[in-house]
Amino acid sequence: MKLFDVHRLHLTECAAPVLSAELEAARDRTWEMAVAANPALFDGPVVACAGLRWEEPGTLFLRWAAVTYRHYALRRVPGGGALPSLFVNAIQPTDDGRVVVARMSPATAAPGRWQLPGGSVEPPRDGEVLDEGALSGKAARELAEEVGVEVKPDELRLWAASRGGNLSVGLTYLAPALPEAELSSRFTAVAAAERAAGREPELAEIAFVRSPHELVGLTGPHADYVEPVVRRYTETSLGPGV
């Protein structure tokens, strides 16, 4: 897993790859088996990374294509050529320098996994564009929906890009710090509201960690970017309230 400094993004849309009939059939079979094993999977629209390059320090040029989650079944097909996924997440600090990490609920596609608040990027709707503002808006919505933290997109700062398993690309945003008690209260409220509406919350619980060593005590799988992001945040000069 690699972590990179990034301060500016340039995004360009391209066409999704055209599959042969054989690959398409293999993809569909693999997808159907995955859904049978985990019914929480769904074939909604999603953005994949079709290429990226760095042309100057801190500026990432990224090409993207609209696919559906079914596309990632190609990872399990020999020679499938699946495009890497693209997702956003957010560092939500406490005012004493810790970081919120969250465990996915059993009803999600990654049950029990510890990660930062965030999610996959969806293609823009008609008349909209996928740009830096749209991505920071996505990160803000994930914080609101998952943790209950209401923050304006322009209050989030693009902080890093990660390249991890399956060459997936993650864009990490830094949110303003809040007291632990307030974060716990907001999370409890948003989870209760989801249950009252008859839905299972996406996150089963949150925890506050001050260093990568504290991640060890969190039982279950961890997203590959969590340890490097927590390490970098807690070891840099970025302090509470940034």
Give the pLDDT confidence of 4-50 residue by residue, as tens digits: 999 899 999 999 999 999 999 999 999 999 999 999 899 999 999 99
User: Does domain 2-235 sit in CATH 3.90.79.10?
Assistant: yes
Residue 127: predicted pLDDT: 83
pTM of the model: 0.93
CA dihedral 131, 64, 47, 175 (to 10 degrees): -40
- The pLDDT of residue 164: 85
pLDDT in tens, 118-175: 999 999 998 899 999 999 999 999 999 999 999 999 999 999 999 987 889 999 999 9
* Cα–Cα distance measured from residue 46 to residue 150, given in angstroms and rounded to the nearest whole number: 24
Averaged pLDDT for residues 67-92 = 96
Return the domain boundaries, the chain: 2-235
How much is the pLDDT for 228?
Answer: 95
Cβ atoms of 162 and 4 within 8 Å: the answer is yes
